[in-house]
Amino acid sequence: MRTLLPLVAALAATSFADSSAAEPVAKHKSLIGTELRDPDWSPATRAMLEKDLLIAQKTMEIAPEREDSYIWLGRRFAYLNRFDEAIDVFTAGLGKFPDSYKLLRFRGRKYARTRQFELAIADYRRGVELMQGIEDSYEPDGIVNERNQFLGSYRGNMHYYLGQTLWAVGDYAGTLQGMERSISEPLVQNPDHMVATTYWRYLALRKLGRTAEANELVRKIPRDLQLLENDGYYDGVKFMQGALDAKTVIAKGDAISSFAVAMDQHFRGQHVEAERMWTDIITKTPQGFWPAETELLASRARRGAK
């Protein structure tokens, strides 16, 4: 962890011009050493993201005593893939609000995005503890969907991301438990959340050797759902059902649904093919895809591959 600025307000006080012209943060790499990069944003999209960051910086200048100021400044850095700065902001916020499950939720996600999985898991677990007995609430999106509808809640997302990140350390029972606890939360009873949690529950069950349960789980998902965001997860679930073939899924070029195909190859014992596909997913996805990265490294280790 880099040394924090004495006051995160000093970050916020940086002008928009200074922010865009500053030295770039150290580039992170995937677990297999490939360079991570920004998506091919349009000029309009980048301008929007930078303007949102400017607003968050100015808000911090005005209201550095508010928890939300830290949340949104950190999140706006993260939307620009400036994860180290985001982590610094969330950490400074936790210095001021040590029992903020919201700051832990967002810092945990950025730790995972920078492949610091144990730190992410610790944040999520602490966040789950802090949320006990607190009424759940919707988690506002920084980039809204077409209906401007919130799909995730703080408790639902805390369990979801804890479960997802436990996959990285091989705790598949923990992944299954996190997803089951997430989908049980009342505020996230929507098709988008259902298909995302089903996707990870299926994979966790397969990892645990509970294939019949996994197949029964995906069989129950309707094939005519109307989603707002999670089309990649839905395609992955349809592939798991047998409703989409591998060629169709791969042609879409989506990392999440393609990962389902690679995992199927893995479960079938087609390890060379799975490794080739995981590598393809990682290299073609701008920010990599850490579930594929962890699977690839584990597969290589099992096979004694270099």
Kindly tell me if the per-residue pLDDT of 26 is higher than 90: no
Long-range contacts of 222-231 (CB under 8 A, 24+ apart): 225/191, 225/194, 225/195, 226/191, 227/191, 227/192, 227/195, 228/145, 228/146, 228/147, 228/149, 228/151, 228/192, 229/145, 229/151, 229/192, 230/192, 230/193, 230/195, 230/196
Amino acid at 232: G
Q: Which token pair is 280?
A: 């393809």
Confidence class of residue 28 from pLDDT cuts 50, 70 and 90? Answer: confident
Q: Provide the pLDDT for residue 142.
A: 75
Q: Provide the pLDDT for residue 145.
A: 63
Q: Which token pair is 89?
A: 């902001």
In a domain, residue 233? The reply is: yes
Q: Provide the pLDDT for residue 147.
A: 67
For 78-122, what is each residue's pLDDT tens digit? 999 999 999 999 999 999 999 999 999 999 999 999 999 999 999
DSSP-assigned states of every residue in 225-275: ---SS-HHHHHHHHHHHTSS-HHHHHHHT-HHHHHHHHHHHHHTT-HHHHH
In a domain, residue 63? The reply is: no
Q: Provide the pLDDT for residue 141.
A: 84
Q: Which token pair is 224?
A: 């005519």
Q: Provide the pLDDT for residue 70.
A: 98
In a domain, residue 37? The reply is: no
In 3D space, the residue among 115, 117, 116, 91 whose CA is nearest the CA of residue 104 turns out to be: 91
Sorted by sequence, the CB contacts under 8 Å of residue 148 that are 6+ apart come out as none
| Separation between Cα atoms, residue 78 and residue 82, nearest integer Å | 5
Kindly tell me if the per-residue pLDDT of 20 is higher than 50: no
**Range(s) of the domain holding residue 300:** 190-306
Q: Provide the pLDDT for residue 29.
A: 93
% pLDDT > 90, the chain: 85
In 3D space, the residue among 69, 55, 77, 58 whose CA is nearest the CA of residue 13 turns out to be: 58
Q: Which token pair is 235?
A: 């395609």
In a domain, residue 144? The reply is: no
Confidence class of residue 303 from pLDDT cuts 50, 70 and 90? Answer: confident
For 225-271, what is each residue's pLDDT tens digit? 999 999 999 999 999 999 999 999 999 999 999 999 999 999 999 99
In a domain, residue 280? The reply is: yes
Q: Which token pair is 169?
A: 């350390």
For 167-194, what is each residue's pLDDT tens digit? 999 999 999 999 999 999 999 999 999 9
- Residue 176 and residue 215 in contact, taking contact as beta carbons nearer than 8 Å: no
In a domain, residue 71? The reply is: no
Q: How many domains does the chain have?
A: 1
Amino acid at 298: A
Q: Provide the pLDDT for residue 6.
A: 40
Q: What is the mean pLDDT of the chain?
A: 90
Q: Provide the pLDDT for residue 151.
A: 85
H runs (alpha helix) in 63-139: 67-79, 83-96, 101-113, 117-131
In a domain, residue 35? The reply is: no
Q: Which H or E run includes 33?
A: none
For 196-224, what is each residue's pLDDT tens digit? 999 999 999 999 999 999 999 999 999 99
In a domain, residue 43? The reply is: no
Kindly tell me if the per-residue pLDDT of 15 is higher than 60: no
Count of CB atoms situated within 10 Å of the CB of 152: 23
Distances (CA, A) of 258 to 93, 204, 214, 252, 281: 37, 17, 18, 8, 7
Mean pLDDT of 56-74: 98
- Residue 56 and residue 46 in contact, taking contact as beta carbons nearer than 8 Å: no
Q: Provide the pLDDT for residue 143.
A: 72
Q: What is the pTM of this model?
A: 0.90
